[in-house]
Amino acid sequence: MIRVGIVGGTGYTGVELLRLLAQHPHVEIIAITSRKEAGLDVCELFPSLRGRLSLKFSEPADAQLEKCDVVFFATPHGVAMEQARALLSAGVKVIDLAADFRLRDPAEFERWYKTPHTCVDLLAEAVYGLPEVNREAIRSARLIGLPGCYPTSVQLGLLPVLEHGGLIDTASLIADCKSGVSGAGRKAELSMLLAEAGDSVKAYSVPGHRHLPEITQGLKAIAAMAGKAQGANDLKIAFVPHLMPMIRGIHSTLYARVLGHAQEFDFQKLYEQRFAAEPFVDVLPAGAHPETRSVRGSNFMRIAVHRPPETDLLVILVVEDNLVKGASGQGVQVLNIMFGLPETAGLTQLPVLP
């Protein structure tokens, strides 16, 4: 059994991680930390886990995380980079669900997260944990920076066309993305109250969202890996997130201008072929419109490809559960790859309807 520790397991990504790992056939959760809830039985805070998990929250200093095979950080940014070095030195693998090891440039991290990076040397070693792009690097990694929820949907939505190259204008990409309120985390905040967020939709962080540099970095890396250096250099994307009156889910509508010579290209076939072997990416039939409820509670992502008539646009619709494929489920998928397990282990739950 793989011995797992979780740092900061009281938020939404933390409880989702517990839900998935408690059902995993090859995992034993041996420690979960929380200064505030230390000594409390996990099932008292999260009664959905009653009968599946017998564990108490512990103080970080008492958790003996060095005895784990892998430690997940389900914490705000800044925590993993303070503790990762000691865990790695003890032979423990680290998967960070926050932003500490996503951005390659420490100056960019400081710009967007308003704090200096304290272990810059580890950035060169950290692997960006997007399996559909970096699967081989993940296999041998000991430190993973897990993608954010929005960046997962945008990067995988544009992956086939960027890998192919020469099909779209990479300098005028648009990502129009909507997320449920759980994406803001489990905290008391006025704008997240039901009376504030219900029956309303709003855009936010239009001048600049923290996920924008991650999205841009990832898309440029995909284009560069595919040998499309010019496309990578020219790539620009406008990213506009929206808050939706729902608990879970992300719906990303991606727009790209198709180049003149590619107007008759079969984009549906390109997407079907690229994701045919991916266990968690479902390309829908031509003309389909995916719904966020079709992935709720699952690690699946569903994609639909459209060419609106009398335009030169390619429109890609992407849905995912922000807490599963957008966070904790992807973390478990990465764990499976790192430890040589079937990639779907512990992740075969079907979406929940209604």
Q: Which residues are catalytic?
A: 149
Q: Which residues contact residue 40 at a Cβ distance below 8 angstroms, ignoring those fewer than 6 apart?
A: 34, 56, 57
- H or E, element range at 318: strand 313-320
Instruction: Please name the residue that has the structure tokens 């490809």.
Output: 305
| Residue 72, beta-bridge partner list | 6, 95
- Asked whether 6 and 29 are in contact (CB, 8 A), the reply is yes
Q: Name the packing angle between helices 149-164 and 211-225 (round to 10°).
A: 20
Encoded tokens for 4: 């797992």
Q: Which residue has the tokens 């409820």?
A: 293
The Cα 60–Cα 37 span in angstroms is 11
Residue 331's closest CA among 122, 63, 27, 10?
A: 27
Please, which residues have CB within 8 angstroms of residue 211's CB and are 6 or more apart in sequence? 148, 150, 151, 239, 241
Q: What is the DSSP string of 261-306?
A: GGTT--HHHHHHHHTTT-TTEEEPPTT----GGGSTTSS-EEEEEE
Amino acid (one-letter) located at 24: H
As a whole number of angstroms, the distance between CA 41 and CA 59 comes to 13
Contacts of 141-144 spanning 24+ positions with Cβ under 8 A: 141/93, 141/338, 142/88, 142/93, 142/94, 143/84, 143/88, 143/93, 143/94, 143/96, 143/101, 144/93, 144/94, 144/95, 144/96, 144/101, 144/331, 144/334, 144/338
Planar angle of CA 21, 27, 32, nearest 5 degrees: 60
